[in-house]
Structure 1
Amino acid sequence: MRMILKVQHAAQDMECENEDNNKVKNNEQACCPICQEEMPFDILEVHASECGESPVDNDVNNTAEFSIMDNDVNNTAEFSIMDNDWKTHLDPKIAAFLYRKEILRLHETGKPLFMCMDIRSSPEEQDRQLINFYKQRNVEWACPVKCQLQGDVAVGDGVSRHFFSTVVEKLKYGFSLNLGNTGVTCLFEGEPDHLVPSSSQLLIESDLFVVAGRMLGHSFLHGGPCLAGLSRAFVHVLLQGSQDTATLQLEDCPDVDIRETINLLRGQSPLNEDEYSKVLELCLSWDLPGPTDENRRWLYERLLSHAVIGRRTRQIKQIKRGLKDTFVWPLLTERTDVVFFPKESEDLCTSEMLLSHISWATESDNEDDEYSADTKERITGYLRQFIETASAKDLKDLLKFWVRWDRMEANMAVEVVKSDLPKSSTCFCVLRLPGHYNDFQSFTNDLTICIGTCKFGFGHV
């Protein structure tokens, strides 16, 4: 896979700049785009420059990567007049939409980020270049993004959806990179709804959790999928919550051996010699006292807290950096009711949800229709039956085949056409089904084969 990133800054149109400046003059107070503090506009520009140059985390980096001083793309005056309806809207979903829309509007005149992916290259090469793309410094991630797939004729919004779907899928299930003598490199590990960042020092030293934060923020800005299934305790601390108030569960510890050792401290049963040795060894390795009858409960909580959160403080700081680079952080800190990291149950696609978003093929007076109303009714009936009986995985694969990511779009249409196999027009969210099927089984077999190819490109059966 080849990726080309072109980030250039162009001067704002003089007429738009004058219009924005006139608007700002009418406001006595303005809002800093980084720290979100209100202050007189006449000192905002100086403050924003210093704020943009200050460290995001003092012990992580000595420089920030917001590029606020570059007035060619990020005019400070534009940020000061940012629509703040997202702060007050009662519906958190609409608030997130308004914030995303406004951030993209402020950067719509910037030079787009151009991603060129060769899907004929090896998975390892694709993932390596994908990570390199998000390792770029001083990038305005809110600028328009344009994606192209080499080795595939597909163009348009469907390609962009494929790109963001791939990004989040790699974060959740791992990259095809051999780091640390593993076939797959996972940035997050653990059980569903208990995922936490890997404790691998190699990943931390490589700043791969900064990459993860940028990927998540970038996908969010463009309406893409979120990373579902993170530990609630980890999310609580990541979003500025106190480690002491995090509600930890034993399942949040991804290391099974450590989890079993910590679990020995639950209850009141006396520890035998072997159990005591295991607990003591773990305590000493983390600079904690050995177990006694008096400190047993306290020690259990301390060990679990360190296993889940304490070993991941640097990962938390890096993910924050990545989210701040994509301008998502103000939303997460101001609107704590916005669900940025959903649970697995909140990210499901059910048959009822999918059926409610579909615009079904209907009878038409158009003489050029390829099939009769009866044929359309039979084929769409097969599709409805398939959706009602499909597994959660098959439903998500169908969505990816249909629109190129597993998030439902508003107007998902179905057409019955003359074709050998099911196809889709992902930019327009149209699923095109052949009208030659006369039984549900043959329809299901072909559709299952087609949707199973979605991660390899567009209809490569």
Structure 2
Amino acid sequence: MMTITGGWLLYKSAGGHGRRNLSVVPPESEGYTGSTIRSASGAGKTMLYIAPLQEEFDLEPLPDNSQEFSHMPKAECKNCFKILPLQILALHVKQCNASKSDKPSDSEPEVTEVVLSCEKNTKEGKCPICQKNYPAMELELHASVCGDWASPLSCRGGSPVGLEEQQNEKITCEEDVLRWLATRVDKSKEFCICVSRMNLLERGLMLWQRQKNSSPVNLLKVTFIGEAGIDTGALRKEFLTEMVAGLETLLFEGEDGKGKMPKYSLNDLDSGIFRVAGEIFAASLAQGGPAPAFLQEWCYDFLLTGDLKNITRNDVHDMEFSSLIKMVEESSDLSSCTEQIISCGYTGPINEENKDKITRAILLHSAARRTVMLRQLREGLQLYGLIDVMERNRELCRGLFVAGADHNVDSYYIVSHLAPTMSETGSQRHARETQILNNFQDFLQELEDGTAEDALSVPEVMQWLTGQSHRHLLLSERENFKITVHFDHTCMERMPSHTICYPVVSACAQAITFPTAHCVHYSDFKNNVATAIKCGAGFHRL
């Protein structure tokens, strides 16, 4: 359909059975909207047909190397060793098997020759994936299946390579962890959540715990109540973004950028909320959400080892214990706080010479109270076997959980990935489009510098555009990421009496359309975009 031009209309069939006539679905003045399509299709129960007005659809099968198959899963034909998309491979295998069966079956001389050549050929080569040596005659076959961890051919000397050994061989960086997690998502079923934007965190936690017909190990599919958006990835990312940010505020305390530790909340512990938080963190990493990179170092180490280490004075955020430590450090007479010191588990002499030991005891007491929350968080991180990978690759996973890694979006990240569809260079339309792009960059930089009057941030703009507010965690996603920018020059012709219209965003398609009649002057542009972000965050368009 990408090459179809000249306009198109939607049709639907009349009631009844058998052969039926199609009737046109009349578009609104602004074209087909989500409400129009929803009404015409009976909320998705009636099939609609797309018919071009001046051209015909090309019904010839797409070639194997077509761009439409670039992101589809592929596999290799075992007969002709041709790599094809799975949808085509199913048909190809039948034809390939048929052509193979037509060939003469007398191939004994060939087998004898191959066996003899294998005996003579003692050279070995190194597999580029697993870095192990294999006979040259076997190397090509092994390398073709080496990426399949569960493959029976991923063995040496007849003994299968264990999953743990393969993980250690393959996971060499943070991106390998994320790719491995993505393969652990069970896509045979969907973990469906239909949630309202009002009280999103509270309702999301309740629905996540319900897990009636599926579980978080399956592919997450999100629907926002009252919105027409269909989840092809953007809704899931927005839900995970909101949940991770909400859980950080609800269950953790500390300074932003310096790491946080779990709140001492026994009611949340009793409700299993920390376990749910661990599952949501794992699902977020596996399914395109943000990384929960806000923990303190000692919290991450305790999750993996169970030991309290690396606890410093800056890790205590309880007002009670912070004031007690300050009193111990500054006072020469500790008799006034003896009872508080003893309640923290310190059993040694309470005097000025033991101030360091007393302070250490208070720090350990503050952290020890929270270890039970961390243990429950660890239970949730068992989803997809994530905690096992973290234990074997402790340093590689540290940046996904510990504060310090820069996953925030800035103005450069958004502007550098814009892909505008510009008019002819030198035309008046091109000049307007260029001015609008400059206005958008100025708007983002103003938000970044904190000089804007609106209480918005650059990550909020990113979430409005794409559904996620964080940088893409995978390098391949960052390289392929682009925001398509369109310009509407005809809104005044379509609606002569209107005074204002706003940018239209398609988060799933990662595209935005600016109305040029209302966005040329920067003051108008700023008010226009700020209003669109605040009032148009929902997925109301198809």
Q: TM-score scaled by structure 1?
A: 0.71
Question: Are 1:155 and 2:155 matched, yes or no?
Answer: no
Deviations 1:379-422 (A, max 9, x none): 11111111222227510110010001112451222222256112
Question: Are 1:115 and 2:193 matched, yes or no?
Answer: yes
Question: For structure 2, which runs of at least 5 residues remain unmatched after alignment?
Answer: 1-89, 91-144, 450-455, 473-480, 492-500
Question: Are 1:329 and 2:391 matched, yes or no?
Answer: no
Cα offset for 1:188? 1.1
1:433-452 maps to which residues of 2 (within 5 A)?
A: 433-436=514-517, 437-452=519-534
CA distance in 2, matches of 1:363, 1:398: 25
Are residues 291 and 449 of structure 1, via their aligned partners in 2, closer, same or farther at CA, if it must alter by over 3 Å? Answer: farther
For 1:135, which of 209, 213, 226 is the aligned residue? 209
Alignment-mate amino acid for residue 31 of structure 1: G
CA distance in 2, matches of 1:379, 1:350: 19
CA distance in 2, matches of 1:188, 1:158: 26
Question: Are 1:320 and 2:394 matched, yes or no?
Answer: no
Deviations 1:352-375 (A, max 9, x none): 23322222343369xxx9x82122
Equivalent residue for 2:508?
A: 427
- Look up the SS of the partner of 1:195 in the other structure: strand
Deviations 1:127-168 (A, max 9, x none): 343112332469642322222122112223221122111211
Equivalent residue for 1:76?
A: none
Which structure has the larger Rg? Answer: 2
Equivalent residue for 2:482?
A: 411
The structure with more strand, counted as a fraction of residues: 2
Cα offset for 1:282? 2.1
Cα offset for 1:340? 1.4
Equivalent residue for 1:354?
A: 414
Equivalent residue for 2:332?
A: 271
Are residues 422 and 333 of structure 1, via their aligned partners in 2, closer, same or farther at CA, if it must alter by over 3 Å? Answer: same
Deviations 1:297-341 (A, max 9, x none): 11111211221x211111111111000024321221222223211
Equivalent residue for 2:262?
A: 197
CA-atom RMSD in angstroms: 3.0
Question: Are 1:165 and 2:241 matched, yes or no?
Answer: yes
For 2:353, which of 290, 294, 301 is the aligned residue? 294
Aligned sequence identity (%): 17
Question: Are 1:262 and 2:325 matched, yes or no?
Answer: yes
CA distance in 2, matches of 1:331, 1:453: 42
Alignment-mate amino acid for residue 401 of structure 2: F
Cα offset for 1:249? 3.0
Q: Assess if the C-alpha contact under 8 Å between 2:378 and 2:387 holds in 1.
A: yes
Equivalent residue for 1:102?
A: 183
For 1:373, which of 430, 442, 445 is the aligned residue? 430
Q: Assess if the C-alpha contact under 8 Å between 1:264 and 1:271 holds in 2.
A: no
Alignment-mate amino acid for residue 382 of structure 1: N
Deviations 1:94-132 (A, max 9, x none): 21232123223xx23x2111111233xx42xx4343112
1:84-103 maps to which residues of 2 (within 5 A)?
A: 86-87=170-171, 89=172, 92-103=173-184
Are residues 343 and 255 of structure 1, via their aligned partners in 2, closer, same or farther at CA, if it must alter by over 3 Å? Answer: same
Are residues 21 and 94 of structure 1, via their aligned partners in 2, closer, same or farther at CA, if it must alter by over 3 Å? Answer: closer
Ranked by relative contact order (alpha carbons within 8 Å, sequence separation 6 or more), the top structure is 1
- Look up the SS of the partner of 1:363 in the other structure: coil
Question: For structure 1, which runs of at least 5 residues remain unmatched after alignment?
Answer: 1-14, 39-81, 174-185
- Look up the SS of the partner of 1:113 in the other structure: strand
Q: Assess if the C-alpha contact under 8 Å between 1:351 and 1:388 holds in 2.
A: yes
Alignment-mate amino acid for residue 218 of structure 1: A
CA distance in 2, matches of 1:262, 1:391: 37
Q: Assess if the C-alpha contact under 8 Å between 2:217 and 2:383 holds in 1.
A: no
Residues 355-364 or 140-149, more deviating: 355-364
Q: Assess if the C-alpha contact under 8 Å between 2:201 and 2:243 holds in 1.
A: no
Q: TM-score scaled by structure 2?
A: 0.61
Question: Are 1:221 and 2:221 matched, yes or no?
Answer: no
CA distance in 1, matches of 2:211, 2:220: 16
Are residues 348 and 25 of structure 1, via their aligned partners in 2, closer, same or farther at CA, if it must alter by over 3 Å? Answer: closer
Cα offset for 1:31? 3.0
CA distance in 2, matches of 1:21, 1:349: 35
